[in-house]
Structures are given as structure tokens and as C-alpha cells.
A and B are shown apart, each in its own frame.
Chain A
Amino acid sequence: MTINTEMKVRVAKITPVADKVKRFRFERTDGQPMPVFSGGAHIIVSMRDGQVLRRNPYSLMSAPGDTSGYEISVLRVENSRGGSAFLHEKLKEGDTLVLSQPVNLFPFDHRGKKHIMMAGGIGITPFMAMMEQMELEGRAFELHYAVRTRSHGAYWKELQQRYGAHRIKIYCDAEKLFIPVDAILENQPLGTHLYVCGPAGMISGVLGKARTHGWPKENLHSEEFLAPPPGKAFQVKLARANRTIDVASHQSILEAVEAAGIDAPYLCRGGACGQCETAVVSCDGELEHNDHFLEPDEKASGKKIMICVSRIKGNAVTLDL
């Protein structure tokens, strides 16, 4: 629910891009234009995989002003919960899917004088759309892009051709080249903003360094969508709906609630946006907070849970749903 203006789309093209990375192009089945979005936005892709309905967030990487279709790039992850495996191995050109409207939790700050982006691996995708927009608007930017090997890295050649090697810097693990974070942070004009997208360790490492270099938190931006981590099965009691639902070990609370036919609010499904914040009435067990949204004291209070990624270790939790 939350936004029920979903768009039915056809898979117009599937393109292998790099090792384990494929690009998917979606066009509307009704021939209508896609909404214009802003660089950094994501969509929720709803996939009907046999009996299971999967809904995953993916950053849009196509040009924000291009209304003919949307493109995403997906990494086939090793321990896929099903989403990336479905997209890579089952989805075919011509199949239909449902997309949400675009939502932007990772926009660039238009007041900034300069924009520095740091991407790790598939974290490149939101920056593809951001750079399109920044180039169009004539903004100063540079991208520092870390890849494991040149063949693992998606789009780096195209990006260097388009924006020039002076703005697109590639660092390859296999060649023992790493983003010189300290040197970059040390010498930037006032009003510079920093954006990081990649693995959790990279984000916390870079943002931590930026803080020690005296960058104010208002100039630091990051995005990481979490997959709900698995755990032991437990029960959720819904106080308002007066229902008890089983949450399986590979399911999130949100997914279990939806599978039972109950609408719960959500936006990003990745622990980032705060839309699915739910009040905990009581908990027979221990809350396992996995989100980026709640503050540490809110997590410690035991009164709130983000049902898209967090779960409990124990028997049952009663939620205000």
C-alpha cells in the first residue's frame, strides 16, 4: 500500500553488463510515459516468483528525464533471498512486472558547490542517474569508483568516455588500487558534499573518515539497501487486526504480514526510509534491529521496530498493526 499507483511494465531488454551484473529495461505496457525522477531515486520491483511475491528496491540508473523507460542494474548475489536470482535466471524479455513510483531517499544537495561521489561495486547505479542530472545542470562533480576487478566493474569505461577520466576515477582491488579517501577529503572547497553508496563497511569507513576531517554531517550522504537478514522463525501478533502470523526464517515481518493479506506501510523495504516504523506492544524475546533509520536510543527503548528488515530472537512479538 502507501503508494498504490503501481505501474505495469514489460521487460524490454536484458543486457549482461559485467560479471554477475545485468541491466534490465522496463517500459510501460499501457504505452504511457514513465514519470520523470530525480537522480538517486529508487523503485520497488514486484516479482511474482511461483507462489512467492518478491518486492525489492533498486536504484534507477537511466537518465532521470527519459520517460520512455526505466533501467536498473542488478548484481547476482551469492546468498540471494530470491530477488536477484529470479531477475538473473528466471526473468525473460517480454515478461511483465509491477513497479512502484520512484522515491528518492538519496538526492544530491542542490545548494552544494561541488559533489564528490564514492561508489563500491554495484553501488554505482544511483550515481549513474545523478551524474546525468548534474551534467545537464552544469554542476561540478567527480566520481571515485572502486571495483574488484576490471571485468567485475560495471560501466566504468562508458563513464570515463562520457565524462572524462579526470572526473571518473577507477580503483581496482586486483591492481591494489584503493580510493585515497584521506587525500580527497583533505583538499575540497567549502560547500562540497560527499555521497557514498556501496558495502556497509565502505560507507561507515568513508563517513567516519570524513567526520575526523571535520566535515559536518549535513554534507555527508549515503545509501545502502539492506536485505532482511534471515533468523529463526517466530510469531507476530497483530494487536489491531487481532491476528497471529508466523514469520519464517527467510521472511521479513513485512513480507509475512503481506503474505497474510494485510496491508502495512512501506516505502524502501531496505531499512532506510522509516516509513514502516511500527510500535511494539510487547515482545517475548529480544528485538533484532537491522535498520539504518532508528536512533540508538530508540532501538534500545524496545518500543519501535522497522518491520522491513528487523526481526526478533525469541517466540513472539505483539505489534500495533
Chain B
Amino acid sequence: MLVAGIKSRPVYGGLSVDPNARRHLFALEGEGALALTEEAARSGADFLKNADILYVASGSRAADHDKALTALGADTFWLSPTVPVLLNRLNVMLGQAKMGTRLYVAVTEGFIGQAMQVALNHGIDHASIRCEHRGSAARRVQCVHCKGVTDNVTTSPYVCTHCGLSLLVRDHYSRRIGAFQGVNIDAEEPGTAPQPEELFP
């Protein structure tokens, strides 16, 4: 069960390098590493001289993508242990960045949403951030009732990890919060929520 056809559902244009950018800042998670290695193979590796890569392996630690990224020979490469630590470093780097710096983000929607939140606070327009989404369709969802955010939601409805309500996941997306909206599905008759469907594998 999904409420679709909502305009705020983000569309990600893919990680193509801006040839005019003076500096390229990549915030990558998991398989997002492949988005960059493939782009480097496609567009030539010249831009890497002026590139900073922040990487967190998350679920794909076993694939050793960090080794492939190191081999690209970018100006700087930094491996983060966790997403929050990466976001913190991204925040500091953006605070010192100049115009002409282009931000690229991949790979899960939850990570893209959180990196964008950081970027928006630096006055970057969301449309100028180049994003690529691949792999899991798992969503970061906010319960509109208790405002608790749950990461990696794969079903709809799902049970809010904060307040325990059964929530229908809508395509309604908030850039400010970096999350989809979940709305109570059985408010009239609690306990009658339909079985969860695996909609975001």
C-alpha cells in the first residue's frame, strides 16, 4: 500500500561531473562508490585532481569499495566510520568551501536526504546538488504524529519505532527533514492495519 503520484517525491538526476566546477566534493555511501568510479571511467579522471571524497561503507563494507576509491587518486580521500561522522565532516568542509565547488551525493535515499539537509543550511540550492540513487529503495520516514524519524523502512505500513503507531508511507517528501511522511493508517479502528507489504526492498 503506497500513496504515490505526489510531486514532492525526489527525482535523482545521476552523478555526472560538472566540467566547469573548480572543486568537486563527493559524499558517498556504500555502492555510491560505483557511481563515482563509473563516472571517472566515462568522463575521464581529470576532475579528480580537484576532488575531495568522503566515504562511508555502511552495509557494503565487504565489497571493499574504499580500495577502489583510494585507487582513483583524488586530491583527498577520507573514510568515515559512520554516517553521522561523515555528515559532520561534510558540514565543516562546506563551511570553508568557495563558490565553484560542486557537491555530489550517492547512494541510498536516506543518506542523500541527510547530506542535502547539511548542504541546504549552507545556502546551496537542492537543484544544484547532483545525486544518484541505486541499490536499496529503503526509505527514511518521519512519523507525522510523534515526529520520530525511522531509517531504512522497507515496508508500508510500518510500525513507528518511536510511538508504535501503524504508518502508511506516502511519497510526500520533506527536504527540510530529509524524510518521507508516514501517516497513521488505522486511526479509526486501532489494530485493523493491513499486513505490511515489502514495497521498498
A: residues with CB less than 8 A from B are 109, 111-113, 185-192, 211-219
Do B122 and A113 touch (CB < 8 A)? yes
Q: Which of B14-22, B58-66, B136-144, B186-194 contacts A (4 or more CB under 8 A)?
A: B14-22
- Going nearest first, the 7 A-B pairs with the smallest beta carbon separation are A191-B123, A216-B128, A214-B100, A218-B125, A214-B21, A113-B123, A188-B99
Residue of A nearest to B22 (CB): A214
Do B20 and A211 touch (CB < 8 A)? yes
CA A111 to CA B97, docked complex, whole Å: 17
CA A190 to CA B21, docked complex, whole Å: 13
Do B128 and A218 touch (CB < 8 A)? yes
CA A190 to CA B98, docked complex, whole Å: 5
Do B102 and A111 touch (CB < 8 A)? no
Do A190 and B125 touch (CB < 8 A)? no
Q: A214-B18, A214-B21, A214-B22 are in contact. Are A111 and B125 (CB under 8 A)?
A: yes
CA A191 to CA B123, docked complex, whole Å: 4
Known: A186-B98, A214-B100, A219-B125. 20 other contacts (CB 8 A): A111-B120, A112-B123, A113-B122, A185-B99, A185-B100, A187-B98, A188-B99, A189-B98, A190-B124, A191-B122, A191-B123, A192-B123, A214-B18, A214-B23, A214-B101, A214-B102, A216-B125, A216-B127, A217-B128, A219-B128
Q: Helix, strand, loop or mixed for chain A's interface?
A: loop
Please tell me if B94 contacts chain A, counting CB pairs below 8 Å.
yes
Residue of A nearest to B120 (CB): A111
Q: Which residues of B contact A191 (CB under 8 A)?
A: 122-124
Do A213 and B125 touch (CB < 8 A)? no
Residue of A nearest to B126 (CB): A218
CA A122 to CA B97, docked complex, whole Å: 34
Q: Which residues of A contact B122 (CB under 8 A)?
A: 113, 190-191
Residues of chain B in range 82-131 having any CB-CB distance to chain A below 8 Å: 94-95, 97-102, 120, 122-125, 127-128
29 contacts between A and B (CB under 8 A): A111-B120, A111-B123, A112-B123, A113-B122, A113-B123, A186-B100, A188-B99, A189-B97, A189-B98, A189-B99, A190-B95, A190-B97, A190-B98, A190-B99, A190-B101, A190-B122, A191-B124, A213-B99, A214-B21, A214-B101, A214-B102, A215-B99, A216-B102, A216-B125, A216-B128, A217-B128, A218-B125, A218-B127, A219-B99
Kindly provide the distance from the CB of B198 to the nearest chain A CB, expressed in whole angstroms.
37
CA A190 to CA B100, docked complex, whole Å: 8
